[in-house]
Chains A and B, each alone.
Chain A
Amino acid sequence: MAKIVNSNKKAEITMHMSEFEMPPMQDVLIVGRRAPIGPEAARRMVDILSPDQYEIVKVDHPAIEAMVVRKALFTMLPAEKLIAFLLEEGGRVANESIIVKAQVNIVLQVSKSIDL
C-alpha cells in the first residue's frame, strides 16, 4: 500500500540593500578575450552613465583582450606603467572568459626640501 506523505514548502527571504554605484564599475575592468561582454560594449555602457571618463586599452596578452580604465588614473601615472602593473597583477586572476573589476588607489608621496 502506498504511503501518503504530507509536505510543506517554506521560503525565507532576506534582502541586502546598498547604494547603486554609478557607473557600476570602479577604476578598471579587465576584459577576457572570450568574456560575454567585450571592451567596446563595456566602454559604451559607462560612457552613457559617465561620459568621457573611461578609455579602452587593447593589450597583447593570451587571456586578456583589453582594459577599460578610468582616464583620471592616467593623469597620476604614465599609461604604460599602470597597464604593465594591471597586466601583471590582473593576469594572475583573470582568465579569458571573465571580466574582473579592479579598484586602484594611487597614493603619490612627495617629499621636498627647500632652502630657508
Chain B
Amino acid sequence: MMRKVSEIMIKDYIVIDSFWSIRRIHDLVDQTDMDCFPVADNHMIIGVLTRNDLIKAHPNRIALDAMTGKFKEIQANESIWKAKEALDMGGADLLLVTHEGEIVGILTKQVLNFEIGKHIDLLTGLHKSDYILYKSLEFLEQGKEISVVFFDINNFGCINKEFGHVVGDRILQEIAQLLKVNTPEESYLCRYGGDEFALLTANYAEDCKALAEKLLQIIREHQFPKNIDISVSAGIAGGRRRNARMTDMYETVSNLINIASLASTKAKKQQDNLVLGYCGFIDEIAI
C-alpha cells in the first residue's frame, strides 16, 4: 500500500505566536527536537518558520518578521508522492496537514525527504514500485490511458551464480540506466523487484509494443561486463477507460501490473521475448 501523509506527519507540532522573539524560539528548538513551526496571528496560521529562517534572523526579531509565508495545505489521506510534488512545485518548506478542514499535523521537507529516500532503490537510483502505483492513479484521475511494460532479465539467477553478485549488480545498474535514458517523456520507470523493472506509460497497450521492442533491442545490443549475453523479456498490459468512475483504482492498477508481470514470464518462451498480455477495458480487470 502507498504511504499516506497521515502516517508520517508530525502530530505533536508547536504553533508559534507571531509576536514571539526569535531568541525565544531558539530556546524552544534547544528544548525540543523541532526546527520548523507554523506561525499564528490571532489563532490564524499566517506563515511558517523554518530552520533556515531561524538561522538568518536576528534574535530580537519577532516571528512575524522572520517567517516566510510559503506554506501549503495537504489532505491527511493523500500519498507522500503528492506531498513531495506539492513541496517541490510550490517552493514551500512546510505542509499543513488537514482532515475535514482541521489542521491535524505538519509535514516538513526533512521528514518527507527521509521517507521518500526509502522508496528509492539504492543500487539503481530508480524509484521503487510505490511511485509507479501513485503515477498510475494520477493518470487515471486525469482521464489518461495507462499501460505497464514489465521487464524481466532472462536467467538472471544463473548469471549471479556463474559470475557472482557484484557482476549481477553491475548488470542491473546498466540495464536500469539503458531503460532510464530511453524512457519517453510522461513515462515512469521503477525497479519493481530483484531483476524486474516496470515502465508506466500514458499510451494504449498496442502503442507500447514498438517502445518495448526498441528497449529490448537496445539491451540486446549493449555490451555488458565480461561480454555476458543478456536478454530481457517484456510483458505489456494496458487498457482503455470505459466507465468515467471506478470504485477501486488501486486494485485495478495492481492487477494491471500483475498481468504485465505474468505476460513477461510468458514472454520468456517466445522468440522475440515480448508478450502483449492485456489490452481490454481497465475497469474490468478489477472485477
Contact = CB atoms under 8 A, between A and B. Distances in A.
On whether the two chains bind one another, the answer is yes
Interface residues of A, number: 9
Classify the interface of chain A: helix, strand, loop or mixed: loop
A38 B56 contact: no
Contacts of A47: none
Interface string B43-59: 00000000000001111
A40 B65 contact: yes
B62 A40 contact: yes
A35 B64 contact: no
A36 B59 CA distance: 7
B62 A34 contact: no
Nearest to B56: A34
A37 to B, nearest CB: 7
A90 interface: no
B42 interface: no
Contacts of A35: 58, 61
A27 to B, nearest CB: 21
B32 interface: no
Interface residues of B, number: 10
Interface in A6-58: 34-41
Contacts, number: 26
B243 interface: no
Contacts of A40: 62, 64-65
Contacts of B56: 34
Contacts of B58: 34-36, 97
A39 to B, nearest CB: 6
B191 to A, nearest CB: 45
A57 to B, nearest CB: 15
B259 interface: no
A41 B58 CA distance: 13
Nearest to A33: B56
B62 A36 contact: no
B247 interface: no
Interface in B56-83: 56-62, 64-66
A111 to B, nearest CB: 45
A35 B60 CA distance: 9
A24 B62 CA distance: 19
Interface in B205-238: none
B60 to A, nearest CB: 4
B218 to A, nearest CB: 49
Interface of B: 56-62, 64-66
Given A35-B61, A38-B66, A40-B65, 7 more contacts: A34-B58, A35-B58, A36-B58, A36-B59, A38-B62, A40-B62, A41-B64
18 contacts: A34-B57, A34-B58, A36-B58, A36-B59, A36-B61, A37-B61, A38-B62, A38-B64, A38-B65, A38-B66, A39-B65, A40-B62, A40-B64, A40-B65, A41-B62, A41-B64, A41-B65, A97-B58
